[in-house]
Structure 1
Amino acid sequence: MPDAAVVSRARRLRACAVLVLVGALLAAAGTGAPSAARPPVDATGLDTTGSGAVGGVGAGVGGTAVDVTATDHARIALYQQAVSVLPDGARAEVPADALAVFLPGTRVPDPAAAVLAGALGATPTTAAALGPRAATQAAGAQRTWVAAGEVPGAGGPYEELARAALLDLHSLTVAEGVVVAGWSEKWRYVWPRDSSFVAVALARTGHLEDALAVLDFLARVQEADGSFEARYLPDGSGPPDDRGLQTDGTGWAMWAAGLVLAEAPADRRTATAERLAPLVERSAGRALALVADGLPPASPDYWEVPEVEVTLGTAAPLVAGLEQAAVVLEAAGRPGPAAEAAAAAEGARRAVVDAFGATGYGRYATRGVPDAASAFVLTPFWSTAPHDAAAAWRASVTSMLRPARGLAPGGGWRRDGVSWTPQTTLYAWVAAEQGDVAGALRWLDVVDRHRTSSGAIPEKVLADGSPAAVAPLGWSAACVLLAIDALERATPERGSRGLT
C-alpha cells in the first residue's frame, strides 16, 4: 500500500494540474484577464495635459493615452491581480493572466501549482523558485499575523472580503511600518494619506503595534516643520521626485493618530499618546500656520494634480486632524498645545463651513462641483457634521456614479465609465458611520463583485465590470475593513451574520 502522505500529495498535484489547465483554457477564451485588444494604458478621468501624477487616486495622470470605445468608456489593463508573499519578507506581483493558487488563508503561492503551471505552459502564481518548506513557513507567519487580530464580519457574508483585504494590507507591508500604496512600479511608494487610512484600519482590526509602526514611519519622514511630501521611497530616504508638498498629509497624519489612540487599551493610552506626540505636535504646528487666516493655501489633494484654488480635500482633513491633535496632545500631558490645536480646529471649521457650505460642500468654494471630499466633513472625520453636510454628501452620488455602479472621485471627473474603489469604499465606510446600513452594503457589494481572480481589490473598475489598473490598492483595502468594522460596531445586536 502506498504511503498516505504520498497519496495525499499526488491528489493535490492532480487537483492543481486541473486548476492550471482550466485557467489556461479560460485565458485562451478571453475570460478573466484583459484581452490582447486592451493595451496596458491608464486613464485617470482627468485631462491628459495634467500634472503627470502617478499613484494614489491620481495614478497615471499626464500625457498617458486613453483608449476609449465609441461610448467613451476607457479601456485599462489590469497590471497584476495580487501581490504574493515569499519567504524572508520578499514580495512579487501575481500576473493578471495567472491562475493564482495560494496556500490556504494566505497570499503565499503554492509551490506545487507553480511548478505544474510552468510545466504546462501556463502563467504561474510566481516565477520565483519556492520550496515547500519555505512556503509553509511563510504561510504560517502570515496566518499568525491575521490570527493576532480580528477579521471584521467573521461568520458573515463579508468575511472573505475582509480577510482578503487584511491579507493584501499585510502583503503591501514591505518593512516595519512601510505600507506601499500598491505593487506596480509607479505605486510602490508610501503616500501619507494612504498610510493614515491603513493605520486606522490596522488599529481597528486588532493590529495596534502595526498601526503605530505605520505612524512611526510617517514621523521619520516628516519635515521638521510638520509638512509632508506627496509620497516617499519605501526606505524612508525621501521623495522619489520633485512633486512637492501636499497639505492634506499633515491633516491625515494627525487624524489617524487620534483614531489609532482610541484603540489603545486604557493602561497603554498615555504611553501611546506620548509615542504619537512628536508626529502630532509637528503636524499641528504646521496646520496652525496654514489656517491662521482661515482656509489654507491651495495644494494638491487626493486628486494628485496642481491646484490654484484651495479644495475641500485639502481644507477638511486639516480640521479633522486638528480635532484629533487636541485629543492626542491632551492625553500625552501637553495641555497648552492641545488647547491651541482645539482652538485652531474650531476656527478652521468655521472657515470651511462658511466657504464650502454655500456651494453644497463641493470641490471648490467658488462653484458647486460635487466631490468625494464631501465625505471628509462627516463622521469619522469631523467630530460633528455641519448642518446639511450629510445631505450634500448623499447628493454627490448622482454625478459621481459610473456604469459598474461604483463612484468616480468627483462630479467634475472625466466621463470615461471608470469606477474608483478608493471613493466607493470610502462611501461604504462613511455610510456605515452614519448608520446607513443599506448604503454601506450597496457600496461594499459593488467592490466585492469586481475583485480580481485572486480576490484583491483593484484601483479601478471599468464600465463592463472588469477590474483594472493596480491590484490590490491599500487605501481601498483599508476602507473595506473600516466599513465592515463600522457596520458591526453600529449594529452589535445583529452580529456579523446580520450584515445582509
Structure 2
Amino acid sequence: MPRRPVVAAAVLVALAAGLIAWGATGPRTRTIELYSEGVVATPAGPELVPAGGEPLLHTGTRVVDDPATTADDDLAAEQRAWLAAGTVPGADGPYADLVTDALLDLRTLVQDDGAAVAAWTPYWRYVWPRDASFVAVALARTGHGADAREVLGFLTRVQGEDGSFEARYLPDGSGAVPDDRAPQTDGTGWSLWAAGEVLAATPEADRAAVAAELAPLVRRGAAHAVALVAGDGLPPASPDYWEVAEDELTLGTVAPLLAGLEAAGPVLDLLGDDAAARDARDAAARTRAAVERAFGDDTAYGRYAGGSLPDAASAFALPPFQPTALDGALEGWTASAAAMARPAGGLAPGAGWRQDGISWTPQTSLYALTAAVNGDDAQARERLDWLDAHRTSMGALPEKVLADGSPAAVAPLAWTAACVVLAVAALDG
C-alpha cells in the first residue's frame, strides 16, 4: 500500500476546519489586478489613474498639473490650504508622507455634498455608512470638523425614518441603493459612534450647536438601536463588514451597535433629551453584558457566539470603539491576529475567511489603530510600516495586497486611509 505523505498536525486541523484551500502545490493563492494607482482631482472632478500611470501632480496635492491650462492652479491651492487648515498627525515623523497622502485621498474622495465614497473605481463608487463613519472621525480628529459634519449630513439625509441604513447608497444623495443587498444593522451603530467622536473633537464652545446639527441622525439612530437590542440585549442577525448574508448574529454587527449606544448618551444629554439618553445607556449596559456572555466567556470574541474562529471584529470590543474594553476582549483581540495573518504580512478579515493568500488593508489598518489606542505602540508601528511599504506608486493605500506583496484591487480605499490617519493620531497622543 502506498504510504501517505506526512502532513503537520496543524495543517490537518486547518484542512478539517476548511481553513486551507489545498491545491496541487500547496495552499492556493489568488491573483487580483491593481485597478488603479490612485485618484486625482481635476477641474472636471476626480479621475482614476490607471495601473502603471504616472500623472504629473501639483506639489503637495492630488491635483493634476496640466501644462496646457491654468484651470487646475486654483484647485491645487485649495487642496494645500485645506491641508494647512487642519493637522497632519505624525508630521514630524516617519509617517508624514503616509498620512499626508491619506488625507489628500480622503479630500479627493469626499464629494461636495458630503458623499464619502469608498473608492473611485466604479463598483466601489458608493457610500457605505460604515466607511463614511470612519472618514468623518478621521476628518474631525485632524481639524476638518466642517467636512466631518458634511459627511454625517449625507448619512442623515439617506438614513431611514426608523434610523436604519441600507448597505450602501448612490453618492448623489438621492437615498437610492445600487442593488438588492440587505440593510446592514452595523451602519446605525457606526453612524452613532461617529457622531459621538465628531462631537468630542469639536471645541467645547461649539458643541451645543454641533449637537443640534447632529440631532436628527442621533435621535433616530439611538431609538432604532434601542429597539434592536430590546429583550436580551442582542439584535437580530444582519450582514456586516464581510458583506455576506448571515442567519446568525455576528460580533461585527452587535459590537458596532454597542459602540453606537455608548456614544449616543452624551450627545442626547447635550440635546436635553434626558429620557432618550437614559434609554440609550440602559440599552448599552444590557447589550454590553449580553455580548460579554455570548461572545466573551468561551469564544474569545470570535465571529459568532458559542464558539467560533477569530475575527477582526474583536477590535470593535475595545477602545476607541467602546469607552472601556469588554471583559476579556483585549486578550481575544491580541490572540486573533495570528490566525488571520497572510503571507505578505497583513491580515484577513477573519480566520474563517477564504485562504487565498490576500492581505486586506482595512483590517490591517484597523489593528494598527486598535493597537495604538490600547497602548501597543510596537504593533501599531509594525502594521503602519507594512501599510506604508505596500502603497501604490502614487502613494495610495490599496484595498488588498497579494501574497507576493503586490498592491491589488482598488486604490485608494477610504476606510483604510481613515484608519491610518487615526492610528498615527493615536500614536501622537
Q: TM-score range by the shorter chain?
A: over 0.9
CA-to-aligned-CA distance 1:263-296 (integer Å, 9 cap, x gap): 1111101111111111011011111111002210
Once residues 77 and 403 of structure 2 are traced to their aligned partners in structure 1, the CA distance between those partners, rounded to angstroms, is 39
Once residues 174 and 232 of structure 1 are traced to their aligned partners in structure 2, the CA distance between those partners, rounded to angstroms, is 14
| 2:116 matches 1:179 | yes
Once residues 213 and 277 of structure 2 are traced to their aligned partners in structure 1, the CA distance between those partners, rounded to angstroms, is 15
1:107 corresponds in structure 2 to: 62
1:223 corresponds in structure 2 to: 160
1:481 corresponds in structure 2 to: 421
Q: CA deviation at 1:336?
A: 1.4
| 2:198 matches 1:198 | no
Cα pair 2:32 2:402 within 8 Å, conserved? yes
2:38 corresponds in structure 1 to: 82
Cα pair 1:87 1:137 within 8 Å, conserved? no
**2:283 is matched with which residue: 344, 357, 365?**
344
TM-score normalised by structure 1 residue count: 0.79
SS of alignment partner, residue 213 of structure 1: helix
Higher mean displacement: 158-167 or 382-391: 382-391
**1:148 is matched with which residue: 48, 68, 85?**
85
| 2:369 matches 1:413 | no
Distance of aligned partners of 1:182 and 1:312 in 2 relative to their CA distance in 1, 3 Å threshold: same
2:308 corresponds in structure 1 to: 368
**1:308 is matched with which residue: 247, 250, 260?**
247
| 2:219 matches 1:281 | yes
1:342 partner amino acid: R
**1:297 is matched with which residue: 236, 242, 265?**
236
Cα pair 2:39 2:62 within 8 Å, conserved? yes
1:143 partner amino acid: R
2:18 corresponds in structure 1 to: none
Once residues 132 and 390 of structure 1 are traced to their aligned partners in structure 2, the CA distance between those partners, rounded to angstroms, is 55
| 2:288 matches 1:332 | no
| 2:73 matches 1:136 | yes
Once residues 428 and 186 of structure 2 are traced to their aligned partners in structure 1, the CA distance between those partners, rounded to angstroms, is 29
Once residues 281 and 109 of structure 2 are traced to their aligned partners in structure 1, the CA distance between those partners, rounded to angstroms, is 35
Give 5+ residue unaligned stretches, structure 1.
1-66, 113-130, 490-500
1:437 corresponds in structure 2 to: 377
1:258 corresponds in structure 2 to: 196
Cα pair 2:292 2:327 within 8 Å, conserved? no
SS of alignment partner, residue 85 of structure 1: strand
| 2:167 matches 1:211 | no
- Alignment RMSD (CA, Å): 1.3
Once residues 71 and 103 of structure 1 are traced to their aligned partners in structure 2, the CA distance between those partners, rounded to angstroms, is 44
Distance of aligned partners of 1:332 and 1:83 in 2 relative to their CA distance in 1, 3 Å threshold: same
Once residues 326 and 137 of structure 2 are traced to their aligned partners in structure 1, the CA distance between those partners, rounded to angstroms, is 23
Once residues 307 and 239 of structure 2 are traced to their aligned partners in structure 1, the CA distance between those partners, rounded to angstroms, is 18
2:210 corresponds in structure 1 to: 272
1:448 corresponds in structure 2 to: 388
Cα pair 1:261 1:272 within 8 Å, conserved? yes
**2:187 is matched with which residue: 221, 245, 249?**
249
SS of alignment partner, residue 132 of structure 1: coil
Q: CA deviation at 1:366?
A: 2.4
| 2:47 matches 1:92 | yes
1:324 partner amino acid: A
Q: CA deviation at 1:135?
A: 1.8
2:130 partner amino acid: R
Q: CA deviation at 1:403?
A: 0.9
Once residues 99 and 337 of structure 1 are traced to their aligned partners in structure 2, the CA distance between those partners, rounded to angstroms, is 53
| 2:33 matches 1:73 | no
Once residues 26 and 351 of structure 2 are traced to their aligned partners in structure 1, the CA distance between those partners, rounded to angstroms, is 22
SS of alignment partner, residue 414 of structure 1: coil
CA-to-aligned-CA distance 1:11-50 (integer Å, 9 cap, x gap): xxxxxxxxxxxxxxxxxxxxxxxxxxxxxxxxxxxxxxxx
**Of the two, which has the highest radius of gyration?**
1
Distance of aligned partners of 1:394 and 1:445 in 2 relative to their CA distance in 1, 3 Å threshold: same
SS of alignment partner, residue 111 of structure 1: coil
Cα pair 1:329 1:338 within 8 Å, conserved? yes
CA-to-aligned-CA distance 1:379-401 (integer Å, 9 cap, x gap): 00111112221011010001100
1:235 corresponds in structure 2 to: 172
2:249 partner amino acid: V
CA-to-aligned-CA distance 1:116-151 (integer Å, 9 cap, x gap): xxxxxxxxxxxxxxx431121211111111111111
Cα pair 2:27 2:355 within 8 Å, conserved? no
Q: CA deviation at 1:431?
A: 0.3
Q: Which runs of 4+ in 1 moved over 6 A?
A: 67-70
2:373 partner amino acid: E
Cα pair 2:114 2:147 within 8 Å, conserved? yes
Q: CA deviation at 1:110?
A: 2.4
Q: CA deviation at 1:70?
A: 6.2
Q: CA deviation at 1:310?
A: 0.3
SS of alignment partner, residue 307 of structure 2: coil
Cα pair 1:68 1:74 within 8 Å, conserved? no
Once residues 401 and 132 of structure 1 are traced to their aligned partners in structure 2, the CA distance between those partners, rounded to angstroms, is 48
Once residues 212 and 311 of structure 1 are traced to their aligned partners in structure 2, the CA distance between those partners, rounded to angstroms, is 29
Distance of aligned partners of 1:418 and 1:299 in 2 relative to their CA distance in 1, 3 Å threshold: same
Once residues 140 and 418 of structure 1 are traced to their aligned partners in structure 2, the CA distance between those partners, rounded to angstroms, is 38
Once residues 101 and 409 of structure 1 are traced to their aligned partners in structure 2, the CA distance between those partners, rounded to angstroms, is 35
Cα pair 2:137 2:148 within 8 Å, conserved? yes
1:427 corresponds in structure 2 to: 367
Distance of aligned partners of 1:260 and 1:444 in 2 relative to their CA distance in 1, 3 Å threshold: same
SS of alignment partner, residue 74 of structure 1: coil
Distance of aligned partners of 1:392 and 1:475 in 2 relative to their CA distance in 1, 3 Å threshold: same
Once residues 102 and 402 of structure 2 are traced to their aligned partners in structure 1, the CA distance between those partners, rounded to angstroms, is 20
1:189 corresponds in structure 2 to: 126
